[in-house]
Amino acid sequence: MAQMTEYRLGQMVQMKKEHPCGTNCWRIIRVGMDYRIKCIHCGRSVLMPRSRFERRVKSVYSEFEVDPE
């Protein structure tokens, strides 16, 4: 059975597939029923359902907190 990982705002994650800009490092900027992640290299953001996000995450880099904006 797969282990459940709790993801939080500001965490940097590595995805299984690369983004067209050449990196696979993303920062989580929205958590809920959907996840919004932002590419560290080019700044593009992507919104995806929780189930798809959890399948595509390879690892968590760090747990930096995002400054309130």
Write out pLDDT tens, residues 1-50. 456 678 899 999 999 999 899 999 999 999 999 999 999 999 999 999 99
Sketch the domain layout of the chain as residue ranges.
11-63
> How far is the C-alpha of 69 from the C-alpha of 66, rounded, in Å?
9
Q: What is the mean pLDDT of the segment spanning 63-69?
A: 48
Domain 11-63 annotated CATH 2.30.30: yes
> How far is the C-alpha of 9 from the C-alpha of 21, rounded, in Å?
23
pTM: 0.78
Q: Which stretches within the chain are classed as H helix?
A: 50-56
